[in-house]
Amino acid sequence: METLRGVSLASKLPRLERQMLWQHVLQVPRSWLIAHDTDPLSSETVARFRALEAQRLAGAPMAYILGRREFMGHDFDVSPAVLIPRPETELLVETALASLKAHKAPRVLDLGTGSGAIAISLALECPHATVVATDLSPDALAVARQNAARLGARVEFFSGSWYDALSGHKFFDLIVSNPPYISACDSHLQEGDLRFEPVTALTDGADGLSALRTIAQGAGQWLTPQGELYMEHGWDQAQVVQDLLRSSGFTQIASLPDLAGIDRVTGGIYN
Ligand code: GLN
């Protein structure tokens, strides 16, 4: 009979990833794995582990294999239809939450919501906010709706390209977005997890600025006076996003650094 210890020792995966896969296959806490590492395993269990291990060795992201990723303290379902929520995007949510403090019943818009991580985190932290989220991809919206339902968040979802999804909607106090901002010729698109993520969530297929530009230029028509816009962007895009916001009618423009010290979120006030 095979055991956890035996199968694990023979595995080429790092220990943490092995443990995550075992926890997923056996549906047990990590402590269980340590206490039971010499228990005999059924051949079906070993086969299930080996199938997931093979996916991981072929490069599939852990988040897609497990179908889950933690973000802002909540577990989000993820599938290859959505971008995997990233720690640096918590900066966008925290920036939005700080700005929402000034409002009693704010209206918030998340453009290109993907898994819904941003919109749902905002709705859970700010139950008095009306949160609207859009995505071009119906498959992504299905994941986002499922997350909102499971986590108990009140978010209205609309399908369409950026503001086109919103026809007939009212004004917003705050717009947030983590749009595709990677340049089509950036070699990172061919590396690591990015190879498996939806390409339209990563890049605009051009210089990486077209979605940021569309969102900045269109925001004025959808914001209340003094409404705010915050966008996540690439490591070298802060200055150009600031310029875009300035030429789109924003003031008090600022960029904020992520945990790695890289300017990652830029926003301002519309007036
Ligand atoms: N932050 C992601 C990355 O660099 C990109 C996400 C995006 O384009 N919005 O991997």
96 close to 125: Cβ distance less than 8 angstroms: no
Spatial CA neighbour of 209 closest among 235, 247, 189, 183: 183
Residue 251 Cα to ligand 1 middle (Å):
26
Q: Is the pLDDT of residue 132 over 80?
A: yes
Residue 30 Cα to ligand 1 middle (Å):
30
The Cα 97–Cα 139 span in angstroms is 27
Q: 242-250: long-range contacts at Cβ-Cβ below 8 A with a sequence spacing of 24 or more?
A: 242/266, 244/209, 244/212, 244/213, 244/216, 244/217, 245/216, 248/216, 248/217, 248/219, 248/220, 249/220, 250/216, 250/219
Rounded mean pLDDT, 15-23: 96
Residue 26 Cα to ligand 1 middle (Å):
32
For residue 206, the model assigns a pLDDT of: 97
Domain ranges of the chain: 4-58, 71-270
The minimum-distance atom of ligand 1 relative to the CA of 202 is 8
In the chain, what percentage of residues exceed pLDDT 90? Answer: 97
Q: Is the pLDDT of residue 186 over 80?
A: yes
Q: Is the pLDDT of residue 160 over 80?
A: yes
Q: Is the pLDDT of residue 169 over 90?
A: no
Three-class SS of 6-61: HHHHCCCCCHHHHHHHHHHHHCCCHHHHHHCCCCEECHHHHHHHHHHHHHHHCCCC
Contacts of 150 (CB under 8 A, 6+ apart): 77
Q: What is the mean pLDDT of the chain?
A: 97
Single pTM value for the model: 0.95
Burial state string for 45-84 with b = 16 or more CB within 10 A and e = fewer than 16: bbebbeebbebbeeebbbbbbbeebebbebebbbbebbbb
Residue 84 Cα to ligand 1 middle (Å):
9
For residue 168, the model assigns a pLDDT of: 77
Phi and psi dihedrals of 130, rounded to 5?
-95, 120
Rounded mean pLDDT, 36-65: 97
Rounded mean pLDDT, 77-101: 97
| Ligand 1 shell residues, CB under 6 Å | 83, 86, 178-182, 194, 202
Outline where the chain has alpha helix (H).
Answer: 4-9, 15-26, 30-35, 43-57, 62-66, 89-100, 117-125, 138-151, 199-202, 210-219, 238-247
Residue 60 Cα to ligand 1 middle (Å):
17
What's the DSSP call for residue 186? -
In the chain, what percentage of residues exceed pLDDT 70? Answer: 100
Q: Is the pLDDT of residue 271 over 90?
A: no
What digits encode the pLDDT tens for the residues 206-241? 999 999 999 999 999 999 999 999 999 999 999 999
For residue 1, the model assigns a pLDDT of: 87
For ligand 1, atom 6: residue with the closest CA: 202
Residue 116 Cα to ligand 1 middle (Å):
15
For residue 90, the model assigns a pLDDT of: 97
The minimum-distance atom of ligand 1 relative to the CA of 89 is 1
Spatial CA neighbour of 235 closest among 252, 217, 259, 210: 259
The Cα 265–Cα 144 span in angstroms is 22
pLDDT band at residue 53 using 50, 70 and 90 as cut-offs: very high
Q: Is the pLDDT of residue 20 over 80?
A: yes
The minimum-distance atom of ligand 1 relative to the CA of 181 is 8
Rounded mean pLDDT, 108-114: 98
CATH classification for the domain delimited by 71-270, as one of 3.40.1190.10, 3.40.50.2020, 3.40.50.150, 3.30.420.40: 3.40.50.150
pLDDT band at residue 170 using 50, 70 and 90 as cut-offs: confident
Name the residue of 83, 193, 207, 263 to mutate for ligand 1: max ligand atoms within 8 A of Cβ: 83
For residue 97, the model assigns a pLDDT of: 98
